[in-house]
Amino acid sequence: MNDPYATSVAQLKKIAEILKLPSDIVTRLSVHDKFLEVHFPVTMDDGSVKLFTGYRAQHSNVRGPYKGGIRFSPFVNPSEIRALSMWMTWKCAIADIPFGGGKGGVIVDTKTLSESELERLSRAYLRAIYEIIGPTKDIPAPDMYTTSEMMGWMADEYGKLAHGYAPAVITAKPLEKDGSEGRTEATGLGGFYVLQNLAEREHLDPKQTTVAVQGIGNVGYYTARYAHDAGYRVIAIADSKHAIKNDQGIDVDAAIEFKKTHGSLEGMPGTTAISNDNLLTLPVDVFIPAATENVITSENAEAIKAKYVLEMANGPVTSDADMILEKKGIPVIPDVLANSGGVSVSYFEWYQNMHHEHWSKEKVFEELKKKMNSASEEIFAYKESHTISFRMAAYAVGVSRVVEAMKN
Ligand code: GLU
């Protein structure tokens, strides 16, 4: 059975052994400071009222206010939200930003709702969790199937309840609603910087390096586009329905344009259609899962032929699969490092809001690059000196910082 929370606790225990942490610390960090379950009604366009269930987990705030996205998905469940919130604690510590870990979610299939229903749902969820969030308490952001527009609605709703607009309560807002330049590109661009660090370390020449990307939503698209622009050969991409391949490389922007006009990636000139399973097992240099969790599992890990896996989604490799890949000698660059560019620019947005500043895109990208480079260097160096996996090295860096803060 796949139980993400159990996985997150098992990972913590494993790292506690490496770091020789006392058991009371492990016990403390295994549980969340708070876990809120909410049920709230939303009026549908036809006048009927539907009841929704949502959650907000607050794992740890020893390094700063809780921070983490909100996902709208039919598969949202307490175990997943707890795990994702613990991972945010480590991710913020790895990125060395002054936040702890949180995560929220609502059980909903956004594809079945109209725009106005989504707005009412976003506002209703915000009202339901209002008491426990705030610019210095807990700062949400988007995650799967939530958008910057929704963040704008939620910031507005928070302002109404708080009797004053406080944009720093939520990040990744639209630009015209106090969002930050570059937040849209941030996760993908951050992942690209990590890829560059990896390439340098492993002496990979971008022009000779083939890449396959699963998922071309915001995260996958920008990762693929920056890689393509830097000369990497992105030979296969996939959305949730179709996968396409061209050994000479795919022009990512042209593929997105094609999808926009034709409604599907399939049929893009110069490419051949392959199955999603096929994409997973292509003999590429770097495979980038950028869609959802549990994509590489014990069922298919043996068949993975990539030389490296760069986790741009949260939790795309199950812990069983992780062990299989390790045995096969396929290094996995973990989500808590690879996709930390998103929350890093969220921090920049929060900082700008708190200080009434507006940074240029150049400044945001420059600061992001610094963050991603120093986190990568630190983790790569830790891995080298301790001969452990990238994931364990990243956790060691993150967990140590949290434990250090607990002493204060
Ligand atoms: N949902 C993103 C993540 O998992 C971003 C979180 C944030 O910006 O707070 O890292």
Residue carrying structure tokens 């709703």: 157
Whether 38 is covered by a domain: the verdict is yes
Q: What is the pLDDT of residues 313-338, one digit of tens each?
A: 999 999 899 999 999 999 999 999 99
Q: Which of 288, 305, 338 is the last residue of a domain?
A: 338
Ligand 1 in reach of 141 Cβ (< 6 A): yes
Q: Say if residue 164 is in the same domain as residue 214.
A: no
Pairing type for strands 210-214 and 138-142 reads unpaired
Q: Say if residue 97 is in the same domain as residue 236.
A: no
User: What's the CATH code of the domain at 52?
Assistant: 3.40.50.10860
Ligand 1 in reach of 292 Cβ (< 6 A): no
Residue carrying structure tokens 């936040």: 99
Distance CA(53)–CA(261), nearest Å, equals 36
Q: Say if residue 83 is in the same domain as residue 151.
A: yes
Q: Say if residue 136 is in the same domain as residue 47.
A: yes
Distance CA(225)–CA(217), nearest Å, equals 12
Annotated catalytic residues are: 103
**Spans of the chain, pLDDT less than 50:** none
Q: Say if residue 125 is in the same domain as residue 208.
A: no
Whether 4 is covered by a domain: the verdict is no
Q: Which of 286, 314, 338 is the last residue of a domain?
A: 338
Q: Say if residue 221 is in the same domain as residue 164.
A: no
Between the alpha carbon of residue 184 and those of residues 85, 111, 248, 340, the distances in Å are: 21, 21, 28, 13
Distance 71 CA to ligand 1 centre (A): 10
Structure tokens, 118:
């989504």
Q: Say if residue 302 is in the same domain as residue 326.
A: yes
Residue of 223, 343, 348, 368 to test ligand 1 pocket, by largest number of atoms within 8 Å of CB? 343
In this prediction, residue 392 carries a pLDDT of 95
Q: Say if residue 307 is in the same domain as residue 261.
A: yes
Whether 308 is covered by a domain: the verdict is yes
Distance 341 CA to ligand 1 centre (A): 9
Ligand 1 in reach of 346 Cβ (< 6 A): yes
Q: What is the CA radius of gyration of the chain?
A: 20
Q: Say if residue 260 is in the same domain as residue 290.
A: yes
Range of the domain at 321: 184-338
Q: Say if residue 120 is in the same domain as residue 218.
A: no
Structure tokens, 221:
């698209």
> Chain centroid to CA 290: how far?
9
Cβ 45 vs Cβ 119: under 8 Å: no
Whether 25 is covered by a domain: the verdict is no
Q: Say if residue 149 is in the same domain as residue 209.
A: no
Whether 353 is covered by a domain: the verdict is no
Residue minimizing CA distance to atom 8 of ligand 1:
343
User: What's the CATH code of the domain at 265?
Assistant: 3.40.50.720
Give me the residues paired with residue 60 across strands: 101
Q: Say if residue 214 is in the same domain as residue 284.
A: yes
Structural domains of the chain, count: 2
Whether 272 is covered by a domain: the verdict is yes
- Most distant CA pair in the chain, distance: 62
Give the nearest ligand 1 atom to 71 CA: 1
Give the nearest ligand 1 atom to 142 CA: 1
Distance CA(308)–CA(390), nearest Å, equals 11
